[in-house]
Amino acid sequence: MSQIPDVQIRPAIAADHRLIKTRVREEELDPTGLDWRNFKLAETAAGQVIGICQVRRYPGTRELGSLVVEAAWRGQGVGAALIRACLTEQTPPVYLECVAPRQPYYERFGFQRIPKRQAPLLLQLKSRLGGALSWLFYRVEIIVMRWDG
C-alpha cells in the first residue's frame, strides 16, 4: 500500500494500543478517543512502527487525527501514505483540526479550511476549547478543515 521502500501501512492491532497512547502523549496531541481499531500504522520491514494516524469517530461525523511520524522519517512521505490509507476507507466529509501553519500540507490531500461554525457541533466545541488552550499556552491558532473526497 505504501510507496516508500521497506515501509508498509497496516491496520493497528490490540497489541499496538500502548504504543499509540505513548506516541500521542509524546507529541502532545489530543489524547481522547484513542481506539486502536481506528488507527493505521506505518511499519518498517524490520517491524519498527514509524508512524500512526487515525480516523476518530464521533456521532454523525469523523475526524482525521493523531498523525505522528518519527522524526527520522519525516519528509519522506510516511505521513502522506498514512493519510491516504486512512481516507481510502472513508466517505466524505471527514474533518480535521490542525495548527494554521499546517494548512498547506493538508490541502495537498483535498482538505479545505472552513469556519469553525461550519463544523459539526461536537467538533466546534472541541475546536473552541482546544483552540483557546493552544493559543493560551503556545500562541498558535487551531483551524478546522474538511475533506469532501
- CATH number of the domain that 31 lies in? 3.40.630.30
Which SS3 state, helix, strand or coil, does residue 68 take?
strand
**Does 30 lie in the same domain as 49?**
yes
**Does 72 lie in the same domain as 7?**
yes
Q: What is residue 121's predicted lDDT score, i.e. its pLDDT?
A: 79
**Does 3 lie in the same domain as 46?**
yes
CB 43 within 8 Å of CB 82: no
10 Å CB burial of residue 25 (0-12, 13-18, 19+) is exposed
CB 85 within 8 Å of CB 99: no
Domain that holds residue 128: 91-149
**Does 103 lie in the same domain as 34?**
no
Q: What is the DSSP letter of 100?
A: G
Whole-structure pTM value = 0.89
The more confidently predicted of residues 133 and 105 is: 105
Q: What is residue 120's predicted lDDT score, i.e. its pLDDT?
A: 85
What's the one-letter identity of residue 71? Answer: A
pLDDT classification of 87: cutoffs 50, 70, 90: very high
Q: What is residue 129's predicted lDDT score, i.e. its pLDDT?
A: 63
How many structural domains compose the chain? 2
Percent of the chain with pLDDT over 70: 89
Over residues 3-60, the pLDDT tens digits come to: 687 899 999 999 999 999 999 999 988 888 899 999 999 999 999 999 999 999 988 8
**Does 69 lie in the same domain as 105?**
no
Give the list of residues 6+ apart from residue 147 with CB closer than 8 angstroms, or none.
Answer: 64, 87, 90, 92, 93, 94, 95, 96, 109, 110, 111, 112
**Does 100 lie in the same domain as 82?**
no
Average pLDDT score over the chain: 90
